[in-house]
Every structure is written in structure tokens, then in C-alpha cells.
Amino acid sequence: MTTNTRAQQTINTDRLMASLEELGAIGAYHDEDADVMGVRRLALSPEDAEGRRLVRKWFEEAGLTASTDAIGNTYADRMGLDPDLSPVMSGSHIDSVPTGGKFDGALGVLGALEVIRTLNDHDITTRRPLTIAFFTDEEGCRFGTDMLGSAVATGRIPLEQAYALTDADGKSVKDELAAIGFLGDEPVGQRRPAAFIECHVEQGPSLIHEGFDLGAVTGVQGISWRKLTITGASAHAGATPMSFRKDPGLAAAKINCRIHEMCASGEYGPDMRATMGVITPEPGMINVIPGRVTATVDLRNPDDDAMRRAEADLDAYQQEIAEQLQVTIDSQQTARTPAVAFDEAVIAAVEAAARVQGLKCRRILAGAGHDAQEWSTVCKTAMIFTPGLHDGISHNPRELSTPKHCADAVNTLLSMILALSDEAGNA
Ligand SMILES: [Zn+2]
């Protein structure tokens, strides 16, 4: 069969949407605020277990050989014409945040399944084997570490460290994996695909607002978090002359203004983002100059050099402000992940696949973390983004992509998987 005739195959949109609905009914709850049905399928909860069992059953019904590894990632393999070649892998996650929607993660898993079902319908065997998968605890809401399953599978986080993580009730990842029947016996770290491709909802407003059908994801931005403890002198708001004050609230406000000015300056690239999400004064009274303020700074940048410069310049500014306002600033780095750049050839292939289908596609940077960034450390990787209605809102019950949007993304996934699995190679 030639690539040309294959390119004409399209997925069954009704079947894809029906599967999304059926999985979305597991852990469904009525959200009072939004007055819609949301999804609550926390990692390794009974709802996650029920979702896992359903998807694993679907994997097997599609003729795939399913297996679960020691961190609960579940893979399903399809033979290729050349079984010695490493597979092309596609997948995502089926756990959700406590107030989630039907599409985040699920579209990537069930989209990959729909590709397999379509290949089955048309009796197509690819040259390379194919693997589809769902990964454990992508959201990190329950045990505090996101992309947990894929990070263990690709070697960033040691298995024993992941096992020891506990939830708010002190229950460990290992015990909960065993409790839901997904403590698998396949060793972690053995799967090294030729390529990884993940389909996901954008979780932002860009595609829908700019009228694009699809996003070709270029990478994931770097993250730098710091916690600031700013100490001054608590005093009376009326009796203390302005020149006598050591006001940590003013210091926090100035730092907050500064990080926004840094973004606007363009000096750190066009895509720097900065947020002071926590500003907590103590004692927190209207007529008391605070003695201490706890604040956080979240910096994002797709350019690691620009991120380093921003961090250094912010360090210097904090010192300057501390001297100027006579406060002390203790600055602790609480998280830092480098930017991830996806594979240029795979990004270009997403664009080409979109073009063939007449879809309007733009390159886009992922604002959130994804399983694909973990796999990008072991093989060439890219992602396909689907637009979402309601400004692309996600991690919210109102999260919604239309059948057309989902079908465009999964048809692109289908042609990507066909193209990547036809590639020659030694392994
Ligand atoms: Zn997700």
C-alpha cells in the first residue's frame, strides 16, 4: 500500500466522540458554579481505576497487546511489518484535576486509540510497530509531582522516589497502585520509541481566537519558581512617618511591578511571562504596616538563556530594593525546569500533514507541562494542539472542543503516525 492511498484514510469522528463521552462519564460530577458536568478522576483513585480498566479493555478489543509497567503506565502494542524496528508511540493521560473536563489527556489517549481502530478498519499494517499508552498521574494534583509516570519511564525520576510520594492522607503511590490493580510487572525504562507524538487540547485562547484549526507545538517553556520572605518592621499606620518605615509590602509591590516591566521590555524575549501569585502580609491588618510578607514569583520562558538573565536581573533588583527600603529578602528557588524544544522535523511534519488536509495550522508553544516533554528526552517528539471553546479554558468543567476540532487533530495524528512509522532506520 502506498503512502498516497493511506493519506486518504480518515478517522471515525462519531466513534472518537462516543469514546470521549463514555470515558468522561467515569468520575462525572455536576459542577454547581459552571452548571455543567465535569470530570473528577484523580490519579490512582477508584475513578481513575475504572477509567483505566475501560481504556485497557478498548486497547485489547482493538487487537493490541496491553501491558502495565511498575509505575502503572499502560502500553498497548501493535505489530509492524518490520518487528525489529523501534515503535512509534502516541499517548497521554486519563487522570484529571479535581474539577476537570472530558478532553484534557483523554483526547490524546483515545485519539491514539482511534488511529489504531482506523488502521484496523482499513487493514493497514505499518512498517514500524505502534505503541499507544496512558501514563500515570500527569496532573500531579494528588501526589504533588506532575508527569510522574512518563518521568519515571524516561528516567528523570527514580522509581523508588516516585513510590514513596504520598497524598494528603499519607497514602503512597506504590500502595495506591497496588490497591487499584495497576502495579504492573513490566520494568520501567525499557521503552525507547523511534518517535513520540501526543495530541492534546491547547488549554489556552490563542488558536480559537486567531481562527486556527490546529497547533504544531514547538516545545514547552522553562519554569522558574521562587519564594520570597520579606522582613521589615511592623508599626502603626498612622503614627509612623513615611521616612521611618521598613515596609515589606511595598517591597513586594515593587518586585511585582518590576517583573511585569521585565516582560513588557522585550529584553528577555517576546514570550517571557511572570506572575506573583502569592502575596501574604503579616499580620494583615488595615492599620498596621506589615512586619513580614511572603510572596512567590513564577517566571516562564521558552529561551533558557533569557530565563537565566531574567533570574539574575531579578536577584540584583531584589538586593537593590532590600537596601533602598531597609528590609531583608530571603529568596528560595522552589522549582526549576528547563525549556524543551521539540524535534524540528516532527514539527514540520505536523504542519505538512495539516496542509494536506487543508487545515489552518500555526506553530505554538505549550504553556503547560505535558507527558511529551518527558519523552522528548529519549526520542524525537512533537505535539498537536486542538483549539478549545470558551477561550480554550481547561482544568475546568467547561473545557470543550468540537467534534470537528477533535477530528482535525486526530486525522493529523493518523497521517503523522503513518509517516513516522514508514520511516526507515536501523532501530
Ligand atoms: Zn493534560
Q: Where are the alpha helices (DSSP H) in 8-74?
A: 13-24, 46-61
Asked whether residue 199 falls in the same domain as residue 271, the answer is no
pLDDT at position 424: 62
Ligand 1 centre from 54 Cα, in Å? 19
Q: Is the pLDDT of residue 163 over 60?
A: yes
CA distance 199 to 201: 7
Rounded average pLDDT over 375-386? 96
pLDDT at position 58: 98
CATH code assigned at 116: 3.40.630.10
Handedness of CA 282, 284, 290, 294 (dihedral sign): positive
pLDDT at position 367: 85
CA distance 106 to 96: 9
Ligand 1 centre from 412 Cα, in Å? 19
User: Which pLDDT band holds residue 80 (cuts at 50, 70, 90)?
Assistant: very high
Ligand 1 centre from 104 Cα, in Å? 4
CA distance 395 to 335: 21
Asked whether residue 19 falls in the same domain as residue 130, the answer is yes
C-alpha dihedral over 196, 201, 203, 204, to 10 degrees?
A: 100
Residue 302 one-letter amino acid? P
Domain contains 206 = yes
Domain contains 407 = yes
Ligand 1 centre from 15 Cα, in Å? 21
Which residue reads 503516525 in cell numbers? 417
CATH code assigned at 291: 3.30.70.360
Rounded average pLDDT over 73-77? 98
Domain contains 427 = no
Instruction: Please identify, among 293, 319, 337, the residue that sits at the C-terminal boundary of a domain.
Output: 337
Q: Is the pLDDT of residue 278 over 80?
A: yes
Three cell numbers, residue 130: 505502534
Q: β-pairing, 65-68 with 88-92?
A: unpaired
Domain contains 186 = yes
Domain contains 95 = yes
- How many helices (H) and strands (E) in the chain? 14, 18
Asked whether residue 191 falls in the same domain as residue 168, the answer is yes
Ligand 1 centre from 139 Cα, in Å? 7
- When mean pLDDT is compared across 5-19, 351-365, 397-411, the lowest value belongs to 5-19
Ligand 1 centre from 197 Cα, in Å? 14
Domain contains 426 = no
Rounded average pLDDT over 157-169? 96
CA distance 137 to 93: 7
Asked whether residue 277 falls in the same domain as residue 343, the answer is no
Which residue reads 489517549 in cell numbers? 109
What is the CB-side half-sphere exposure of residue 180 using CA atoms within 13 A?
A: 25
DSSP annotation of 307 reads H
Percentage of the chain with pLDDT > 70? 97
Asked whether residue 163 falls in the same domain as residue 297, the answer is no
Instruction: Please identify, among 291, 315, 337, the residue that sits at the C-terminal boundary of a domain.
Output: 337
Domain contains 287 = yes
Q: Is the pLDDT of residue 255 over 60?
A: yes
CA distance 249 to 234: 10
Residue 131 one-letter amino acid? T
Q: Which domain holds residue 85?
A: 3-220+339-421
Asked whether residue 12 falls in the same domain as residue 87, the answer is yes
User: Which pLDDT band holds residue 4 (cuts at 50, 70, 90)?
Assistant: very low
Instruction: Please identify, among 306, 322, 337, the residue that sits at the C-terminal boundary of a domain.
Output: 337
CA distance 190 to 34: 43
Domain contains 194 = yes
pLDDT at position 425: 58
Identify the helix (H) or strand (E) that includes residue 77: strand 74-78
Asked whether residue 303 falls in the same domain as residue 367, the answer is no
Which residues pair with residue 294 across a beta bridge?
A: 229, 280
Ligand 1 centre from 351 Cα, in Å? 22
Ligand 1 centre from 161 Cα, in Å? 23
Ligand 1 centre from 99 Cα, in Å? 13
- How many domains does one find in the chain? 2
Rounded average pLDDT over 45-64? 98
Ligand 1 centre from 93 Cα, in Å? 6
Task: Please name which of 314, 287, 289 lies closest in space to residue 301, comparing C-alpha atoms.
Answer: 314
Cβ–Cβ under 8 Å, residues 222 and 338: yes
Ligand 1 centre from 390 Cα, in Å? 17
DSSP annotation of 87 reads P
Rounded average pLDDT over 288-300? 97
3-state secondary structure of 122: coil
Rounded average pLDDT over 333-353? 91
Asked whether residue 268 falls in the same domain as residue 296, the answer is yes
Asked whether residue 274 falls in the same domain as residue 415, the answer is no
Rounded average pLDDT over 380-399? 91
Asked whether residue 343 falls in the same domain as residue 392, the answer is yes
Taking the chain, what is the end-to-end CA distance rounded to the nearest angstrom? Answer: 22
CA distance 281 to 278: 10
User: Which pLDDT band holds residue 32 (cuts at 50, 70, 90)?
Assistant: confident
Which is more confident, 144 or 277? 277
Ligand 1 centre from 263 Cα, in Å? 27
pTM, full prediction: 0.86
pLDDT at position 153: 98
Asked whether residue 325 falls in the same domain as residue 395, the answer is no
Identify the helix (H) or strand (E) that includes residue 421: helix 403-421
Asked whether residue 62 falls in the same domain as residue 177, the answer is yes
What confidence tens digit (pLDDT) does each residue in 125-159 have? 999 999 999 999 999 989 988 899 999 999 999 99
